[in-house]
Structure 1
Amino acid sequence: MLNPLTILLVTILADAIAMAVLYSLRRAKIPGVGYWFAANALAVVALLGTALQGHASPWLTHVAANVLFALALLLLLEGCLRFLDRETRPWPAYVGLVPVLAGMIYWTFVAPNFNARVALVSAYHASLYAALGLLMLRGRPANRPRYSFYFLASVALLLCVGHSTRGIMYGFHLLEQTNLTQVSVPNIVFLALGILAPPFLSIGVVMLAHDRLAERLERLANVDDLTGALSRRAFLEIGGGLLNASLRTGMPVAIAIVDIDSFKAVNDTHGHAAGDEVLAHFAAFVARELRIGDVFGRLGGEEFGVLCPATTAAEAVVLLERLRTRFAAAAPGDLPRGLRYTFSVGVDQLRSGESLAQMMARADRALYAAKAAGRDRVMTA
């Protein structure tokens, strides 16, 4: 039969490995990682204290070890809250540490009762695991993959069931023991469950951290950092999908190539910082004014693209002309540094059997025609 002390030492090793992995993520500045690292550090100290039962003071091996382990789990929960951008703190859980501490002292020194201590700690752990599981199920962002959230939720809820069972069995004296390191089949089973908790919880939070890194990489690849518009690559990829859908359904698709007029003069006269402000201001205005379903991206420099599904060229002209009119009516205080600027637009519609590049080329020619006609206008091919 496995020795409980061996199980505790293996758990300590698993926590130490998790700390090393989490420490490697510190530069990524992912919310919650600091809490998760601290949780594993406290768990290592708590487990070391537990392993010293019979060789050190009960204040360390019983009271401090159990309270630190409960605090470690609480920090894990708080790290998940920070990861999900929740600013609220789990104050009821912090308050719950007080009766845990009081109960550990009372049932260790005043009226020694091993079963009562186990039932108390198990109840606290079960409540935190339940909170963690529900947080992961309810807090998952709608635009992210489910796997890492469901994995951590499943682990937390399984541990909740395990600790609830343990608390009931010891609390109602279905099991009788005198200490945690006592060799017995039920104790080995519950300790085996305990050994799975730290590595699986650590795997779960590391998966969350890597999902956040993947999200950042996806954003860098798909979103222009300065303007918040789609990158050229993402815009063309979505455009290809819209064209394929149009071929299947027969619905029209229109495109508008939009260019800020005399943008070089803005950079030359006011500096590139002012130019960046103009680009960001313009992109924010266009994104705010477009319809739901329209696709907006930065094609390069001061040139942007708008894809309008289920829209003819004539309807796109009306949409872009309305946008141009509203922009022209903007108050000086709403403009970056009070700079008044305009934009020109070339519009065209998908024709049978052509590619996105061909449609864009015609819209681009319409844009040059708008520039040649005096700028600040919308023209079709």
Structure 2
Amino acid sequence: MFNPLSILLVTILSGVMAIAVLGSLWRAAIPGVGYWLSANAAAIVALLAFALQGHAHASQWLTLVASNVLMAASLLLVLEGCLRFLGRRTRPWPAYLGLVAVLFGISYWTFAAPNFNARVAVVSAYHASLCVALAVLMLRGRPSNRPRYSYYFVAGAALLLVAAHTARGFMYGLGWMTQASLLQVSPSNVLFLALGILASPCLSIGVVMLAHDRLAERLERLANIDDLTGALSRRAFLAAGDALLDASRRSRSPLAMAIIDIDSFKAVNDKHGHATGDQVLSHFATFIARNLRTGDVFGRLGGEEFGVLCPATSAAEAVSLLDRLRARLAATAPHERPCGLRYTFSVGVDRLRGDESLAQLMARADGALYAAKASGRDRVMTA
């Protein structure tokens, strides 16, 4: 049969494993990982102190006061880590005040008026309140563009802890259960320890899942977003184009494509250097992205060439839109341009025809772009 000491030792081992896994993510600089590492370290020390209860040379300050406060602090650190993970900068000051209250309560019911049940009640109340805050944070703070599973897993583990600590706090607080030591072997004590202590490793697993989701998000961004310009990568742009083609055919609405090329970009690199060329690319992409309409799709096809997909837009409307952008860039004040350089761009435009593929549409728009270049640059032309 399981006993309280064996449960404590299993939980300590799971905490060590969580530290090893989270430690491997340290260099990834994921917000919150430092707090989660500290939380597991504090929990391990607390559990080791709990395990010394009843030892002849172990002080009650260590086995009762410090152990309970450290265990409560570990859960507070998990909450702090989740706040940082979600980009929240505010600290949960009421939780810190509650931790001070736990310290005074444990000290009072250990030395001034020894009462095991009162200690259990105050610690359980604090743990339950922190877990409610953690569950609410995970359910409300989850980014809408990320998978739900890891957030729901953490919230579920927190709610399991809420149920365990609430039941334990009520039963001991109201005197329905009595015992003299945390390590006392009884079916009820083993059950509550299993629920209350073994749910902590579930939280550790949950925060590891959150960290890996953040890594996955970064990898998705690297695959889909061009690092220099912030525009869609070629792969992501073509995937968006295929989806828009399907939607256009279903709704029988027009779809226009524009291929844009910065004029004489090689001369910019040769004369001013590649660093300045990168600044021009970044400035151009930011300018175009800010001036497109909601629903338009913008991506970098390679080098200084970019693409724009305009759903529910005819070729003539797309020409008008891109020509306005061309004139607006030409009117930009010198101090707003990278290194004060004046640069222009040429555009080729065409619309979707029949059941053709995206490659066929791109080929015609690209042909129109070459025609614009041959006609003197700094202009918009249709196929």
Could you state the TM-score of these two structures normalised by the residue count of structure 2? Answer: 0.98
Q: The residue matched to 2:202 in structure 1 has which SS?
A: helix
- Residue 151 of structure 2 corresponds to 149
Note if contact 2:135-2:155 (Cα within 8 Å) is conserved in structure 1: yes
Task: Give 1:308-347 correspondences, 5 Å limit.
Answer: 308-347=310-349
The residue number in structure 2 matching 1:111 is 113
CA distance in 2, matches of 1:332, 1:90: 48
Q: Kindly indicate whether the alpha-carbon contact (under 8 Å) linking 1:14 and 1:198 is maintained by their aligned counterparts in 2.
A: no
- Distance in structure 2 (CA, Å) of the matches to 1:200 and 1:139: 19
What SS does the corresponding residue of 1:73 show, helix, strand or coil? helix
Q: TM-score, normalised by structure 1?
A: 0.99
- Helix, strand or coil for the counterpart of 1:347? strand
Runs of 4+ more than 2 Å apart: none
1:71-119 Cα deviation digits (max 9, x unpaired): 1111110000110011111111111111110111110011000000000
Superposed CA deviations along residues 291-344 of structure 1, whole A, max 9, x for unmatched, are 111000000000000000111101101111111111111111111111110001
Q: Is the 8 A contact 1:346 1:363 kept in 2?
A: yes
| Equivalent runs, 1:128-143 vs 2, <5 Å | 128-143=130-145
Task: Tell me the residue number matched to 1:222.
Answer: 224
Match of 1:45 in 2: 45
Query: CA–CA distance in 2 between the matches of 1:87 and 1:338?
Result: 38
> Residue 263 of structure 1 aligns with which residue?
265
1:172 Cα deviation from its structure 2 partner: 0.6
Which of residues 123, 126, 133 in structure 2 aligns to 1:124? 126
Cα distance in 1, alignment partners of residues 91 and 337 from structure 2: 40
CA distance in 1, matches of 2:269, 2:141: 44
Secondary structure, aligned partner of 2:309: strand
What secondary structure is seen at the aligned counterpart in 2 of 1:345?
Answer: strand
Alignment of 1:297 onto 2:266: no
Instruction: Name the structure 1 match of 2:60.
Output: 58
Q: Does the CA-based 8 Å contact 2:165-2:196 persist in structure 1?
A: no
1:238 Cα deviation (Å)? Answer: 0.7
The CA distance in 2 between the partners of 1:2 and 1:174, in whole Å, is: 23
Structure 2 CA distance for aligned equivalents of residues 18 and 232 of structure 1: 39
Q: Distance in 2 between matches of 1:285 and 1:160?
A: 50
How big is the alpha-carbon RMSD for the aligned residues of Structure 1 and Structure 2?
0.8
User: Would you say the 8 A contact 1:50–1:62 is kept in 2?
Assistant: yes
User: 1:149-298, aligned counterparts within 5 Å?
Assistant: 149-298=151-300
Shift of 1:195: 3.5
Q: CA deviation at 1:194?
A: 2.5
**Aligned pairs, how many?**
381
Rounded Cα–Cα distance in structure 2 between residues aligned with 1:156 and 1:71: 15
**Contact 1:10 1:195 (8 Å CA) reproduced:** no
Separation in 1, partners of 2:30, 2:101:
33
The answer as to 2:4 corresponding to 1:35 is: no
1:82 corresponds to: 84
- Rounded to whole Å, the distance in 2 between the matches of 1:30 and 1:2 is 37
Structure 1: tracts of 5 or more residues without a match: none
